[in-house]
Every structure is written in C-alpha cells, then in structure tokens.
Structure 1
Amino acid sequence: MSTLVLCESPALGMPAVEPRVIDPATPLASATDLGLTRGDGIFESVGVHHGRMHDLEPHLERLAQSARLMDMPAPDLDSWRKAVELAVAELLASLSHIPVTVLCKLVYTRGLEAASSTPPGAPLGFALAYEFPDPTGPRMAGTSAVTLTRGYPLGIGQEAPWLTVGAKTLSYSVNMAALRHAAKKGAEEVVFTTSDGYVLEAPRSTVLIRNGDTVTTPAIEGGLLHGTAQRSAFDAFEALGLKCEYRDITVEELAEAEAVWLTDSAFLLRPLHTLDGRHLAVDSHLTASAIGRMLADAQ
C-alpha cells in the first residue's frame, strides 16, 4: 500500500497551493518531463521507523543543496515539508498496524522538455510514502559488498562541477548497473572507490569504518553526498563513547578496518560481513546499541 501526495508548489516563486493526496495510480509525469526523458531531477527518501519520522529537516536541506548543484529552482521547503507529513500521516492512518519502516520518497523534476528554456517549464513535485520490508534482520545479520571504481579521482567535484557530484539526482543508471554487477559476483552491495585509491560511498548508503575507539566516514569534500543517517549514526556512536571523524579513507584502510557499516534511511545501520569475498568481523552488540539510539532520536 502507498500514499501519493502532489506537491503543487514545489519551487519558491510558484503560486502557493496546499499539497493534496491523490490516487497513487494517477499519471503525473508527461512524456516530455525532463525527469523522465533525461533523469533531470533530484530526490530524497525519508525514513519513518515505528511510526516516527527520522531526519526530515536534514533531508529537506539536502534537497535544497541538490537543487543548487543542479541549477534547479530552489524548492519551497515548507511545501515539501507539508507534503511529506501528509503522505506519511495518510499512509499510517490507512494501515491496520504500525510498520517497522516506512519510506517517503520526494521527487522533484525540472519540468517539461518542450518548455525547458523560455519560459522555464513548471517543476514537478510529489511525495510517495510506502511500507518498506522489515529491516530488523538485515540490520543485525549484515550484508556483503564488493569494491568498484567510479572511474574518477578524489575531489573531482571541485574540478568538474558539471558532474553534479554531491547531488542526489534521478540519474541512477550507474548505481543500478553497479548493483547488478555486484549481484553477479554474489554480493548485495557496492562500495565505490576512486581511481586513485580512496573510498567514496555505496549506491544507496554511506560507508563507516571503526578502528579502535574512532568511527570514520569519508570526507564529503572528496565528492560525496552528505548522508543524513550517517549524521544520526555519528550522534549514536558518540553517545556510546566513541570518537567520530570525517576524513579521506584509503581502500587499504577499508580492507583492514576492525568494523565496517553501511548507513541509510531505510536500514539505518548495517554491518558488512563480507567485502570482496573476504570475511569481516561484525560487532553485533555495538551495532544494536547504535541502532537503538538512532531509533530513540527519531522525531
């Protein structure tokens, strides 16, 4: 079951119209919408765990950042906030139970191709809330991954801003192709690396490693999306007495880390038990404690 809310004022400067619930089967995108024909748009996925929304404001901030990087009209964050809250509330009210996890996907496209220059096409915006399969088992059992190169060096976003590194765009073909390649190699996930030997991120997650009492994630200046769940995970680890830091991580450090996790809005935190076919240690107690704190910190 899902709930679809049309955000009819997705961009600042558009006439104010309250978001409204519509039938999820309603056609929304024109055949000339640039989000459909070119992947020219952005998105976010907000997690709702045990009926409580998680990190909505950081997601909205990142939506605005992605719009800036994509030269899209600034999103009307108040309208988007209402759309997400309405979609989640309507879905939860329609269910006979409180799901373990719900995701609410925000989709924001540039608009119609035929009107994309003069005048600019009206952007399309909607929020889709749906029940996500129970992530409890994978959170504790962990997952497997392979390392794959992105094919560019660390910091390419500063040298080539047109690559829109750091924006969460609808252009996900490379990410999906990487996951299919991983599946052929018997793994569930991918950890992207740079051509000069540094760790980036996973297609749908941020990478964390632990050595001693320090948890580290790659510095976002290297060309990464700043993870929302990662920030929550850092808060949880710090509350548990660990130090947390952002810095560049080499592929060698990843392979030698005492623990590795992927963090995202749906699963919150998953340990890697296998990387490139090699078994990794899993700290089940620390993982469970961190997830417990992340869940407790939800709005």
Structure 2
Amino acid sequence: MSDSILVIPGSGAVTPADRGLLYGEGVFESLHLRPSGPWLLDRHLDRLHRSAALLEMPLPPREDLAELARRAARAGPGGEAALRLIVTAGPASGPQAVYATVGPVPAAALRERRDGIRVITADLGVGPRPPWSLAAAKTLSYAENLAARRWAQRQGADDLLWLTPDGHALEAPTASLVWLTGDTLCTVAPGRTGILAGTTAAHLLDRAPELGLRAEERLITAAELTAADGVWFASSLRGLAEVRILDGTHRAGSPWTRRLLDLLGFEVR
C-alpha cells in the first residue's frame, strides 16, 4: 500500500468551527486492519464509548460505527493496514463529524515490532488525577503525547515510559506497558492509576493462559521493572515492541517475544 490515506465518510463534515479542530474535543480509535477485518473491533468500540462518556459527548449508534469500520476495511488494501475511527464534537450548533481513515502501518511500528525499542523513563509530574481528568479517554488532544515521544527521541531513545512521582510505571505516550515476571504476564491496572486502558494489552492477558502463563493487573516501580523477565510496549499497530534498552541498560532479548506476537497474530517483517 502506498503512503496515501483513504478517507471513508460516515456523517457530518469537519468545519473550521468544529470543536474537535479547535479544542481537541473528539475521540478516536486506531485499529489493526487484517485480511479478516478490523482486529478487536468490539473492544475498540467499547473504549470509544468510554472515552466519549468522559467527554460527555454523544456517539452514533454502535452498529453504525461498526459498519463504518467494515466499509473502511473493504476499501483498504486487503493486507495489514492502519484503520482509524474518528468522531468529533462538531461545532457549537451543528452535526458531529464521523469518519474513518485507512493507511499503511508506519514503517517505524513495523521496525519496532521486529527489532525492539530503546526506552527512557520520565516523571509525569502529577499525583492523583483530578475528577475532570481525561487521561483515561482517547481524545483528539494528542499533541502532548506526540511531543513526549519527540522529546524521548531527542534523548536518543525510541519511546518514553511515564512514571508517577513515587516511581511507579504508568504507560507510554501511545502504548501500554506489559511485562513478564516468572510465569505471570502483567500490565498496569488502569482502574488504580487513571491511565488509558489498553485494548491490545487486555486481549493479550486474556489469552496468556493459552501459553501456560498467568495474567495480572498490578503496579510496578521502574526499579522493579529492571528485573522483569521481559518488558514490552503493547499497541494496536505495533502489536508488541520489546524494550531492549531501559534507561541506558541493555536487556537480553526475551524468548517470549515471538511467541506472544504469534499469539496475537502479528507478522514480523
């Protein structure tokens, strides 16, 4: 597939007065598009509705969104691709914009899936989330997330792991943290931290028993993470990217990386 992005309209249109454009008031989901269709569509629609509820923003009927995703999949290249569902808040008076896009999986995501990533940690600089926080919503206000990744790249890393002021791991700007300790595959508990719940991470933990692993949501400090048997960033398009360097310390490759990617159905190339 070329680098072009296909836009599949649903309803409404983005205008200069759209609050999604002006203020980032809108929600989206990125899905891995496979020959079989949009991967984990139901989980992504669930999260889209949770995000919209936090913004107190209505959504079109669930089946309409599902059909839009399926239409976008049919318009796609027929192989691996990136599918996004976007719903804006619309102008102060007027319809919301609902649309989908289909484009290639970024080359960086494919490379990180194959080769792993260099990660640095950084204090997020906030304590408990205020009641109006939208950290648990996947909104169109993604500039700070992308700025965090750019900052990490200027430090010679590929990505960043946010920490609480007391040193507990949270999430990456665009991925969930997953780690293996013994026979237990873990991710950070979103309900206890207020972070965005990861669809790929949740699906992976659901299927962990198929590989003889237990699954657990819990907290971990950055210091404890250095002793983990495997550390990964999980996201819809990368699948899993193994953390091979953490704060300058090299980590041996985990034999579980390929097994976990195979379990999720991701090709390594």
TM-score, normalised on structure 1?
0.82
Give 1:225 deviation, angstroms: 1.1
Match of 1:144 in 2: 118
Is 1:251 paired with 2:222?
A: yes
Q: How many angstroms does 1:133 deviate by?
A: 3.9
Q: 1:2–1:91: 8 Å Cα contact kept in structure 2?
A: no
**Percent identity of paired positions between Structure 1 and Structure 2:** 31
- Contact persistence 2:175–2:235 (CA under 8 A): yes
Is the 8 Å Cα contact of residues 207 and 218 (structure 1) preserved in structure 2? yes
Superposed counterparts of 1:183-222, under 5 Å: 183-221=153-191, 222=193
Q: Distance in 2 between matches of 1:52 and 1:272?
A: 29
Cα distance in 1 for residues equivalent to 2:51 and 2:232: 25
Partner SS state of residue 180, structure 1: helix
Structure 1 residues 253 and 62, CA, compared in 2 at 3 Å: closer, same or farther? same
Q: Alpha carbons of 1:229 and 1:88: their partners in 2 closer, same or farther (altered >3 Å)? A: same
* Root mean square deviation, CA, Å: 1.8
Query: What is the distance in 2 between the residues matched to 1:244 and 1:287?
Result: 16
Q: Distance in 1 between matches of 2:239 and 2:146?
A: 20
Q: For 1:163, what is the secondary structure of its paired residue? A: coil
Distance in 2 (CA, whole Å) between partners of 1:136 and 1:6 is: 28
CA distance in 1 between partners of 2:225 and 2:76 (Å): 40
The CA distance in 1 between the partners of 2:41 and 2:75, in whole Å, is: 17
Mark the runs of 5 or more structure 1 residues left unpaired by the alignment. 10-27, 93-97, 116-120
Equivalent pairs counted in the alignment come to 261
The answer to whether residue 105 in structure 2 is matched with residue 126 in structure 1 is no
Structure 2 gap ranges (5+)? none
Using structure 2 for the length normalisation, give the TM-score.
Answer: 0.91
Distance 1:268 1:236 in 2: 14
Residue identity in the other structure for 1:3 = L
CA-to-aligned-CA distance 1:68-93 (integer Å, 9 cap, x gap): 1111114421111011110111123x
User: Residue by residue, what CA displacement relative to the aligned partner does 1:27-50 show, whole Å, maximum 9, x if unpaired?
Assistant: x42111111111111110011235
Matches within 5 A, 1:1-299: 1-8=4-11, 28-92=13-77, 98-99=78-79, 101-113=80-92, 115=93, 121-133=94-106, 136-153=110-127, 156-157=128-129, 160-221=130-191, 222-283=193-254, 285-295=255-265
Partner SS for 1:162 = coil
